[in-house]
């Protein structure tokens, strides 16, 4: 039986050429797998036919937009996932979604190898290959660009020589990856980190310098998931799409960052994630109202580790699954409404309400009706500061106190 290789297929030049390139280099039959995670562009049936016209023996096509939004973006929202406190894991979240379908297609068509179009210096090669082998340890992985020397120039020449039904051009200043959670742009003149991004870099957001009239939205959450906008019920996918539209019109969610890649290099990236950033801001504020203090403090540590794992391609790892359980438990009472104003590149929370709120007006107020017994504060402070007080007394005893400038006095032997 002829060996079969499943290829992650985007419908673009590189992966279209990769179908024939892989077949010639390995002698295997190629099955193209295209997964829609909300990246827009061409119809799935057009992509299917192009894959077949380029030499694929089969084409597996999946509309995974609802799956991506519900099973990947919503856990990231509940985790307030921001790599380096800024990047909402736009590309990193889509990879395990695609991986799951690649493995499913490999099983369906009895393939022994899964191929992807990543280079040897990016994060995605790790995300694909670790994800694939985590779900199916028996499968082999192949990267035509990295392993079979498929360069851009070679791809153009191959497509022209074989009259492949795909547009070829050498001029493409940016590398772009996008889905419903956001859009990532890199390379070209952006690789000089002193260069400011130009207007043509952006697509999901309008210029926040000249915003339209401010837009007020009420986002309703149930256990950390948005379920309604302005009282109208929405699915996770609809919530992201509508917030992309409304926050994007106000220029919310533009991110320009030099980030630490997993492979050890720093990379300058431009991201647009209007819906993601607005929803995360709203979710964080609702957690401020509903999470108990110590739980909230510890969750921030878990959030950072969860985000790093997903960024590093460890979506299917045991630690990630364990952290999922903790995060899901914290969302038990994260239900209620957040009112937010979108304007001039900012998503600003202006109101919060929840039946599960831990905010007690009678305890918080300084006016009539104050239920907080301030007389208990003195004893609380004495006990709370007791260990520091005892340590300070010991320092003074041995001549190691702190002077009035805050500097430690020289230590005695």
Give pLDDT tens digits for 324-344. Answer: 999 999 999 999 999 999 999
At residue 351, the pLDDT reads 98
DSSP string, 356-384: T----HHHH-SSTT----GGGHHHHHHHH
Residue ranges, the chain, pLDDT below 50: 412-413
The maximal CA–CA distance of the chain, rounded, in angstroms, is: 87
CB within 8 Å of 96: residues ≥ 6 apart: 72, 127, 131, 315, 316
- Mean of the per-residue pLDDT values for the chain? 94
Residue 271 assigned to a binding site: yes
Residue 124 assigned to a binding site: yes
Residue 13 assigned to a binding site: yes
Determine the topology of domain 176-353 in CATH. 3.90.1260
**What's the Cα-to-Cα distance from 254 to each of 379, 394, 406, rounded to whole Å?**
48, 52, 41
Q: Is the dihedral of CA 117, 121, 122, 128 positive or negative?
A: positive
Distance CA 260, CA 268 (A): 9
Distance CA 341, CA 116 (A): 41
CB within 8 Å of 288: residues ≥ 6 apart: 296, 352
Residue 138 assigned to a binding site: no
Assess contact for 209 and 216: CB atoms under 8 A: no
Distance CA 162, CA 153 (A): 14
At residue 412, the pLDDT reads 47
At residue 408, the pLDDT reads 65
Residue 311 assigned to a binding site: no
Assess contact for 77 and 279: CB atoms under 8 A: yes
Residues classed as catalytic: 14, 95, 124, 175
Give pLDDT tens digits for 358-406. Answer: 998 787 778 777 778 888 889 999 999 999 999 999 998 998 877 777 6
> What are the boundaries of each domain within the chain?
4-172, 176-353, 374-413
Residue 123 assigned to a binding site: yes
Assess contact for 294 and 361: CB atoms under 8 A: no
Phi, psi of 376 (to 5 degrees): -80, -10
Q: Would you call 4 helix, strand, or coil by DSSP?
A: strand
Residue 169 assigned to a binding site: no
**Pick from 128, 153, 282: nearest CA to 217:** 282
pTM for the model = 0.92
Assess contact for 197 and 174: CB atoms under 8 A: no
List the structure tokens of 106.
Answer: 């490999």
Domain 4-172 indexed as CATH 3.40.50.620: yes
């Amino acid at each position: 039986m002829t060996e079969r290789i499943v290829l992650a297929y985007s419908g673009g030049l590189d992966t279209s050429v990769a179908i024939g390139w892989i077949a010639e280099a390995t002698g295997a039959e190629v099955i193209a797998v295209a997964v829609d995670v909300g990246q827009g562009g061409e119809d799935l049936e057009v992509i299917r036919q192009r894959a077949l016209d380029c030499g694929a023996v089969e084409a597996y096509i999946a509309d995974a937009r609802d799956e991506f939004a519900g099973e990947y973006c919503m856990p990231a929202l509940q985790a307030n996932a921001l790599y380096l406190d800024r990047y909402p894991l736009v590309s990193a979240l889509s990879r395990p979604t695609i991986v799951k379908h690649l493995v499913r297609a490999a099983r369906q068509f009895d393939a022994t190898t899964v191929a992807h179009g990543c280079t040897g210096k990016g994060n995605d090669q790790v995300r694909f290959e670790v994800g694939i082998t985590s779900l199916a340890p028996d499968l082999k992985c192949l990267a035509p660009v990295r392993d079979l020397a498929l360069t851009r120039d070679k791809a153009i020449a191959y497509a022209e020589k074989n009259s492949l039904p795909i547009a070829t051009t050498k001029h493409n200043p940016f590398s772009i990856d996008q889905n419903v959670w956001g859009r990532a742009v890199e390379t070209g003149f952006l690789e000089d980190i002193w260069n400011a991004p130009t207007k043509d870099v952006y697509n999901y957001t309008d210029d926040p310098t000249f915003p339209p009239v401010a837009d007020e939205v009420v986002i309703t959450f149930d256990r950390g998931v948005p379920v309604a906008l302005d009282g109208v019920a929405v699915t996770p996918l609809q919530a992201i799409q509508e917030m992309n539209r409304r926050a994007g019109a106000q220029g919310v969610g533009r991110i320009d960052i030099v980030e630490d890649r997993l492979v050890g290099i720093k990379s300058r990236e431009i991201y647009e994630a209007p819906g993601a950033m607005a929803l995360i801001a709203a979710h964080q504020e609702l957690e401020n109202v509903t999470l108990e203090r110590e739980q909230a403090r510890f969750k921030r540590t878990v959030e950072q580790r969860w985000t790093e794992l997903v960024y590093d391609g460890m979506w299917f790892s045991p630690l990630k699954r364990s952290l999922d359980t903790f995060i899901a438990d914290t969302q038990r009472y994260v239900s209620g409404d957040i009112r937010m104003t979108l304007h001039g590149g900012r998503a600003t929370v202006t109101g919060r309400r929840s039946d599960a709120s831990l905010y007690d007006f009678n305890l918080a107020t300084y006016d009539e009706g104050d239920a907080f017994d301030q007389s208990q504060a003195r004893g609380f402070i004495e006990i709370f500061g007791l260990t520091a007080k005892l340590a300070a007394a010991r320092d003074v005893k041995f001549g190691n106190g702190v002077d009035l400038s805050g500097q430690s006095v020289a230590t005695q032997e």
